[in-house]
């Protein structure tokens, strides 16, 4: 068993920066976990502490049940893959991959067998005698992975391994990494700032911000039930739309029309210090051209009319940007909460509502169009603390 447990792990650098604070995380044996978050959120520091490249300031780290806080990296039996491939340029692919095994003083026959096996898994057999200079970026990254897997370590730690590749290769390599991890069943912790990688690769995703974990869960759960405004804005592309929603008895007044309040939300709005305003969150994919839905669907949502700013045809669907007037989500607290969530530009100016409509939609730039959104999919956040109330 090679589970990894972080128990109240913190990292404070000598200059006083707290990069990671009180992180609790249990990674099961064989699990593929992604650490994701904006720049500076502490994901690399967390990974480096697991690797032993960074001391732990407080808390405990256990690998396979053993406390490893004070163990040197080489004694932790883990392999790291970095963004830079760090291959030896004067060595062939075979020699590069054999390197950790030579260090471990395995005999030549065993080394050859292990390298051949890893090369097969990564489809590098035909390239074994080439030098790194004669490989493409994707091939180099596969060699770097090969070098990590030959040792059969307890765990793989990967820090943005694909971020040097162009967009197309990145997509291809995503499937390579995913297949490799499934095939080998080795516990893997993978750091990325790319939410698409996070959504497609891992069994579970850990969303970090400011050195703390915001939410942990399978990708779909984070997408469906984001715990707060930050997670909601971070997961999903294009980002969720956020709008002001003024509480007015049983209704929320928004720039997209009135939204009825269900019983559960109503209870949240009782009491003297209850918020008088909420933030309404709707994902682009939960809108539809009002002319394309049947009556039953219509009853499950709200319709509004707004001027079309830009239409982007994607073939299978259309991204349509609208300008909505009135009370947009411009509050300082919302910007504060969501700024580094990578969410849309709340300050307005130009289009401020992103929707994904069917390819059959008849929207035209510069004209008003009637649009529907699904009430069953909306999120309501308390602007005071960003908590999702839905
Ligand atoms: P990125 O995606 O930009 O790599 P990250 O989420 O991996 O970011 P870390 O590299 O873990 O973030 O850094 C977390 C915080 O710790 C940042 O505020 C960073 O400036 C700080 N930090 C990192 N290394 C040091 C150091 N050696 N001394 C002081 N502060 C540091």
Q: Which atom of ligand 1 is nearest to the CA of 46?
A: 11
CATH for 183: 3.40.50.300
Whether 334 shows a pLDDT value over 80: the answer reads: no
Q: Are 244 and 224 within one domain?
A: no
Does residue 390 sit within a domain?
no
Is 246:259 a contact under the CB 8 Å cutoff? Answer: no
Domain span at 51: 4-233
Using most ligand atoms within 8 A of CB, pick from 19, 157, 190, 340 the residue to mutate for ligand 1. 19
Q: Is 291 found in the same domain as 228?
A: no
State the CATH number of the domain containing residue 253: 2.40.50.140
* Nearest in space to 324 (alpha carbons), one of 241, 385, 224, 206: 241
**Partners of 155 in the β-ladder:** 78, 187
In a domain, 146, yes or no: yes
| 367 touches ligand 1 (CB under 6 Å) | no
Least confident stretch, 104-118, 282-296, 334-348, 364-378: 334-348
Regarding the beta carbon of 16 and ligand 1, being less than 6 Å apart is answered no
> 239 CB under 6 A from ligand 1?
no
Please state the three-class secondary structure of 314-379 as a single string.
CCCEEEEEECCCCCECCCHHHHHHHHHHCCCCCCCCCCCEEEEEECCCCCCCCCEEEEEEEHHHCE
Task: Decide if pLDDT at 214 tops 90.
Answer: yes
Instruction: Please tell me whether residues 91 and 122 are part of one structural domain.
Output: yes
- Beta bridge partners, 216, equal 206
Whether residues 229 and 269 share a domain: the answer is no
Number of structural domains in the chain: 2
Q: Does residue 307 share a domain with residue 323? A: yes
249 and 215 assigned to the same domain: no
Write down the pTM of the prediction: 0.88
Mean pLDDT for 243-250 is 87
Pair 196, 288 in one domain: no
Q: Is residue 386 part of a domain?
A: no
- Residue 350 clears pLDDT 50, i.e. is over it: no
The pLDDT of residue 201: 92
What pLDDT, in 10s, does the model give residues 227-236? 999 999 889 8
User: Is 389 domain-assigned?
Assistant: no
- ipTM of this predicted complex? 0.97
20 lines ligand 1 (CB under 6 A): no
Under 8 Å between Cβ of 72 and 53: no
Which of 18, 21, 42, 82 for mutating ligand 1's site (highest number of atoms within 8 Å of CB)? 42
Ligand 1: residue whose CA is nearest its atom 19: 40
């Amino acid at each position: 068993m090679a589970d990894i447990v972080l128990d109240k792990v913190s990292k404070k650098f000598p200059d006083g920066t707290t990069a990671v604070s009180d992180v609790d995380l249990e990674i099961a044996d064989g699990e593929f976990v992604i650490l994701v978050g904006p720049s500076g959120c502490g994901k690399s520091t967390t990974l480096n502490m697991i690797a032993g490249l960074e001391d732990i300031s407080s808390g405990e780290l256990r690998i396979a049940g053993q406390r490893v806080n004070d163990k040197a990296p080489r004694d932790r039996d883990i392999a790291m893959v970095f963004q830079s491939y760090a291959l030896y340029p004067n060595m062939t692919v075979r020699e590069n991959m054999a390197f950790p095994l030579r260090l471990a003083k395995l005999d030549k026959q065993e080394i050859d067998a292990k390298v051949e096996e890893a090369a097969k898994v990564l489809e590098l057999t035909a390239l074994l005698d080439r030098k790194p200079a004669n490989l493409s970026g994707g091939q180099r990254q596969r060699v770097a992975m090969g070098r990590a897997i030959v040792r059969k370590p307890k765990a793989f730690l990967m820090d943005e391994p694909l971020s040097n590749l162009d967009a197309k290769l990145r997509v291809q390599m995503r499937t390579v990494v995913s297949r490799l991890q499934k095939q080998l069943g080795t516990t893997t912790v993978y750091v990325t700032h790319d939410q698409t990688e996070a959504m497609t690769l891992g069994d579970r995703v850990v969303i970090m911000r400011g050195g703390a974990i915001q939410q942990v869960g399978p990708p779909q759960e984070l997408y469906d039930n984001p715990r707060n405004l930050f997670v909601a804005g971070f997961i999903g592309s294009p980002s969720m739309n956020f709008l002001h929603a003024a509480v007015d008895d049983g209704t929320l007044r928004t720039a997209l029309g009135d939204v009825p309040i269900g019983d559960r939300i109503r209870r949240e709005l009782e009491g003297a210090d209850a918020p008088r305003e909420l933030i309404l969150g709707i994902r682009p994919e939960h809108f539809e051209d009002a002319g394309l839905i049947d009556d039953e669907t219509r009853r499950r949502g709200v319709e509004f009319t707004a001027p079309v700013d830009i239409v982007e045809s994607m073939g299978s669907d259309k991204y349509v940007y609208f300008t909505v007037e009135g009370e947009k989500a411009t509050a300082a607290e919302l910007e504060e909460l969501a700024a580094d969530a990578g969410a849309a530009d709340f300050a307005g100016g130009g289009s401020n509502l992103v929707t994904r409509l069917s390819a059959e939609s008849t929207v035209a730039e510069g004209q008003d169009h009637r649009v529907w959104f699904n009430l069953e999919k909306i999120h309501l956040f308390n602007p005071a603390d960003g908590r999702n109330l839905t």
